[in-house]
Structure formats: C-alpha cells, structure tokens
Amino acid sequence: MYIDTTSSSAATEIEHYLKPMARQCINFRLDYRQISEMLKTVLVSVAESEFTIEGKSQTDSRISLLTGVHRKDVRRLLSRDQNKTLSRQHGLITKLITAWLETPELIGKDGEPKPIPRHPHPDYSTSFAELAETLTTDIHARALWDECMNSGIVSLTDDGMVHLMTGNHI
C-alpha cells in the first residue's frame, strides 16, 4: 500500500509559490494547457540536469519516474530542448484571431477583417460564437467573448456586429 509522505507544510509552501504564478499566468492569458506544458518542460529539465546518478546516464524512463511526466513526453521535450525549434502553443485568443484573419470570407476587399455578428445570423457565413466553437469544446464561447472584450481584442457595435480591433493583434 502506498502512503503519501508529502507533508501538509510542503504542500502549503508550494501553494504559496503557485498562487502568484497563477495570477501571472492569467494576466498573460496563458491557459491550462500552456501552463501544463511549461510545467512538464521545467520538471523534465530539472530532473535531467539536477537529479543524475553519478556514473550513469540519465534515461527517459528515470526522468519519467522522477517527474510523473509520460516517457513519450519526456522524449519529445528533451528533443525540443536540444533542437530549440518548436515554439510554444498559442493561446485560444490568438487562434481565434488567426482563424478570423485566415478565413477569406471574413476579410474585406481592403484586406481588413470584416465585422461579424456576435450570434449566428442567416445573412452571414459565420458568427463570433460559431468561430469560437470551432476552436474548442472545453471553453464556452461566452467566456472567450468576455475575455476578448475585456482585452480590447474585439468591440461590439449597436447593430450587434463584432469588430476585430486590428491594432491589437496578439
């Protein structure tokens, strides 16, 4: 039988450090998937460089055992660290902007993004809500709407049209 040896004081201390980091992550619009990927990267990096056994090479399996990160992810992360070629995942807002700007029917003749209705409308090929729903099922379109409005990424006119604020591309 496995007994959890983590003391409550250690958990309290770690939580003390995590709370301000959580605030920063939210301020920088980092979602859980991005944060999880960063934590995996840091865990693997520290385990690889600081928890070696003298005279033995560090293996993916040992790093996985130390960190709880799946061996497949350990291999991928170590490869990424060595190559420095993979970029971090973009946030959901960035994906929304990209989808808007890369959808030909949502771009005007002047090259600027066209306004779209906030909710589905028969006269338009897509709406903000529909665009948001194509990107994720984990987050409700309303939450993405609120964050885009709060960030100044979009504006809403009296006629219910959503305008992408082109000076605010992320």
Stretch 124-141: mean pLDDT: 87
Cα separations in angstroms, 56 against 20, 75, 110:
37, 18, 62
Stretch 139-165: mean pLDDT: 89
- pLDDT at residue 170 is higher than 50: no
pLDDT for position 84: 45
pLDDT digits (tens, 9 = 90+) for 43-98: 999 999 899 998 888 899 999 999 999 999 999 888 875 544 333 334 788 888 88
Percent of the chain with pLDDT over 90: 36
What is d(CA 147, CA 135) in angstroms, rounded to the nearest whole number?
15
- Nearest partner of 143 among 88, 91, 100, judged by Cα: 91
- Helix H or strand E encompassing 73: helix 71-83
Q: How would residue 6 be classed by pLDDT, with cut points 50, 70 and 90?
A: low
pLDDT for position 85: 33
Asked if 97 contacts 108 with a C-beta cutoff of 8 angstroms, the reply is no
Q: Please state whether the predicted TM-score (pTM) of the whole model is above 0.85.
A: no
Stretch 110-124: mean pLDDT: 93
What is d(CA 104, CA 36) in angstroms, rounded to the nearest whole number?
34
pLDDT for position 126: 93
- pLDDT at residue 152 is higher than 90: no
What is d(CA 111, CA 98) in angstroms, rounded to the nearest whole number?
14
